[in-house]
Amino acid sequence: MTKKPFIALTLACASWLTAPALAALGEPEKPDLKLGFIKLTDMAPLAVAWEQGYFLDEGLFVELEAQANWKVLLDRVITGELDGAHMLAGQPLGATIGYGTQADIITAFSMDLNGNGITVSNDVWEDMREHIPNQADGSPQHPISAAALKPVVDAYSERGERFPMGMVFPVSTHNYELRYWLAAGGLNPGYYAPQSGDTSGTLQADVHLSVTPPPQMPATLEAGTIKGYCVGEPWNQQAVAKGIGVPVITDYEIWPNNPEKVFGVTEQWAEKYPNTHLHLLRALIRAAYWLDENNNANREEAVQILSRPNYVGADAQVIANSMTGTFEYEKDDVRPVPDFNVFFRYYATYPYPSDAIWYLTQMRRWGQIPEAKPDNWYMETARKVYRTDIYEAAAQSLIDDGLMSAEDFPELGAENFERPEQGELIDGVPFTPRTPNAYIDSFAIGLKGQDTP
């Protein structure tokens, strides 16, 4: 990416070399870092940490580099070409349990809550619309259930046609949110069968899901290759701007304050460069705080940053639709969604083990974990990958340096197992992270018990 003038970097050196953080934590073992991201608005903490000088405050020279897709990003972290990256929350878990490429990846920082939507093509929307009740003003009543999509899918099936939809990666939040929404409306999104070599995820599927990189979603929809998709912003709002599709639901409506992206590194990297990792986390925590500070007062500035081609590269107004607390479902149907993008509120940055457990339950539900596991396996895997101990060390150092206060974080040193202030899931099924198998067994659609795909 374009760097600031060398003179500016040189002048900044004096501030880092005397910073309390360097004395307390020790200087970064590796100050020159290359970090990866995908062009989505929720990479914002990385962009803000660079633009606001938080990386420099920590003695870090950081290069941010956009990646082609999630697989390339993960592979480059594993090989060491990237020091760390903006990741799907399921990626460290999938890698650690060996779904796809096996590697020990950890996260000590949750990048955001919410931020996704499900969009359908204009023709599908027209067919769905008759099954959706109206509000008093004549606009569609939200949240919209996938039950309104079921007659459309059934009509495709009767004609002998598949109903295709896109998501961004097999272990993405988008895959699991789309599957969750479909299943809640009575549609089976299909199963994975890795033991038999079928990783399509379409066994017994009513709706056939496939992978499309986020920036390519609108074009793929416009081409008719898919009839809808689940993706992060700004690619739902881009469909509205281009007049090619209609977002029908946000993930906030599927599960308020759901976990979304994380910052991931290999376990080996974290062990080799512990001081660097802590300094990196401090910068990201401060950036997340800036993004939500004073009731989102900095969001307009953040929009301008993200619109630059070296970050997200979408029109600023398209990015602003969601980043500034509103969401446009159709042209001129703009509704307030103040928590569509949450970066720091509700302890968003804390890597709660319950987040990991939800992802693991969905991997089991759809066959990516092909065999039943005991409850304690879910607990142990969550603790291994979601490193609350490292996060708390970084948070405590920020408190000690007077840069943040204890009230900004959950009680450090407490159990901090379950994410607070989450709403009810759209199907009304309670999420019970301490009893994951009971949770899995409570769904009408999905593997349960000793089922195998």
How many other C-beta atoms can be found within 10 angstroms of the C-beta atom of residue 358?
Answer: 27
The string of pLDDT tens digits covering residues 224-251 is 999 999 999 999 999 999 999 999 999 9
Task: Indicate the pTM of the whole model.
Answer: 0.94
Instruction: Specify the CATH number of the domain 6-113+260-324+340-408.
Output: 3.40.190.10
**Which pLDDT belongs to residue 45?**
98
The string of pLDDT tens digits covering residues 181-208 is 999 999 999 999 998 989 999 999 999 9
**Which pLDDT belongs to residue 131?**
97
Same fold, 6-113+260-324+340-408 and 116-258: yes
Question: Chain-wide mean pLDDT for the chain?
Answer: 94
Structure-token pair, residue 315: 């029109």
Backbone angles phi, psi at 126, to 5 degrees: -60, -40
**pLDDT over threshold 80, residue 165:** yes
User: Which of 365, 396, 395, 369 lies closest to 381 in space, CA to CA?
Assistant: 369
Confidence of residue 10 (pLDDT cuts 50, 70, 90): very low
The string of pLDDT tens digits covering residues 374-386 is 999 999 999 999 9
User: Which of 276, 346, 358, 270 lies closest to 90 in space, CA to CA?
Assistant: 358
Structure-token pair, residue 26: 């020790």
Domain positions in the chain: 6-113+260-324+340-408, 116-258
Confidence of residue 100 (pLDDT cuts 50, 70, 90): confident
Check whether domain 116-258 has CATH 3.40.190.10, yes or no: yes
